A and B are shown apart, each in its own frame.
Chain A
Amino acid sequence: MKISKKEFENIAKLSALSFKDDDYAILNDLERIISRFESLQKINTDNIAPTAHVTNLENSLREDIDDKILSHEEILANAPQINSGQIKIPRVFDNE
C-alpha cells in the first residue's frame, strides 16, 4: 500500500501534526500497517451490521438538571496563559 507524499501531508494536516522531511520513517510504518488491513477484505460482511455498541445498551438517559461543576478559577488553573480572568490564546489573524 503506497501512500504518496501529498496524501501523507494531507493526513498530517487533518491530524494537526507536521513532520520534517527526514521524519518519514513514520510514512513507512503507516504503509506497512495499512497494508495489513487489506486482508480484512477477504471476510464476507454482506448484510452484517457494524457494531454500534458492544454490550447492546439502549439509550441511557438522565434528567437534564442544571449543575455547576467547576468554578471559573478551577477552569483557569490549567490554562497555559491567562489575561484578566480569561484564557489567552494565540493570535488568530495574521498581518496585524
Chain B
Amino acid sequence: MTLGNILEWLIKGFVWVLILLGGFAYLTYYERRALARIQVRIGPNRAGPFGLLQPIADAIKLIFKEEFMPARADKLLFILAPIITLTPALVITAVVPFGNEPFTLFGRTITWQIADINVGVLYIMSIASIAVYGIVLAGWSSNNKYAMLGGLRSTAQMISYELALGLSFVGVIVLTNSTRLIDIVEAQRVYIWHLGSLQIPVPMWNAFLQPVGMAIFLIATLAEVNRAPFDMPEAEQELAAGYHSEYGGMKFALLFMAEYDKMIAICTIAAALFFGGYLGPDLSGIPLIGGFLKYVQGPFYMFLKVFILLFGMIWLRATLPRIRYDRLMAFGWKVLLPLSLVLIIVSAVGVLAAQEFSRHLFLVGIPILSLMAGFVAILGIYQSLRRKEHARA
C-alpha cells in the first residue's frame, strides 16, 4: 500500500461522495418534477431555468434555519443519529464498478471503482444493515413518541425485509458464481446463442435469468430505504414524519440526504446486480469520439439505468397507497422470504443442470422455473385475499 494508492482512493471516494451529494440535490428536483407531471402539475420551475436552481435554494434555506433541539432529548445521540444514517448511504456504493475500461492519469492506471474487494456483495449487505441504527437512534433520542414509533417501525421493517434482500443477493451469487461485483457484472455480458445457423444475442442480465428474484430485490429495497408504499417509518399522516419529526435545519437535511442517497445507492446496486451494470451496446466504433466513448460508455450506461430505476421508484410512490403494517409484515415474512428461498433452490438446480446438460437450459430453465415460483406465490396471495373476503361476507 503506497501513498499513491491511498491518495487515489481518497480522491475517488471524495469525487463519488460529491457526486452523491449533487445527485441527492438533483434527485429531489427530479422527484418533484416527475411527481408533479404524474399529478398533472408542473412542479418547481421558478428558481433558475426550468427551476434547476431549486435544490440550491432549498439548501440555502436549510442551512440558515435555526438548530433546534427538544428539551429532554439525548443530545449526543440526537446529533450523532443523522451522521450515522448518512454514512452507510454514502459508503455502500464503494464496491460498485462504474466501467470496465481503466484509464491512465499521471502514470497511474485508474479503474472505475473505488474498492475492488472480492466479497463486495457481503460488504453491501453488512453496510445496508448498519443503516437502521441511525434511524432508530434518531427516533429514540428525540424524546417524542411519534418519532419513537417511527424508529421502531423502521427497525422491524428493515430487519424483516433484509432477509428477503439478502436471499435475493444469494440468488445472484449462485447464478454468477462470484461475490465480486465486477465478476457479477461481467457474467451478464451478451451471450451469442447458436441456434443452428441463427445467432441470437441474449443479454444475460440477471433480471432476465431471475425475473422474480429481481422483483423481490426491488420490493425489498423499497422497504429498506423506507420509500412509498413502505414508508410507514415516516408516515406523515399518522406519525407526523416519524423518526425525523423533531429534526430541523441541517440535521433534518442530513436525514433527508441519507434517504435519497440510499435511493441512489440501491438503484446503483440493482443496476449492477440485475440490469447488467455498465454493460450496454458498444459505442467505441463511432468515428472521432469513439476513443473517448470507449472510456465513458460504462458510467453512461450505469447512469442511464440508475436514472430509469429511480423513475420506477418515483412512479411507484405516485401510484401506490401506503400498505398496512400487518400486511407489510405478512408479505415480508410469509411471501417474500419463502419465495426467495425457493428461488435460490431454483437457481442452484438450474446452474447444476446447465453444467450437467447444456448451457441453454440455464438460459431458459431458470427464468421459467422462477416465474412458476412467482406464480405460486401470487396464487397464495390471491387465495389468502379471497379467504379474507369470504370471512368478511
Mutual binders A and B? no
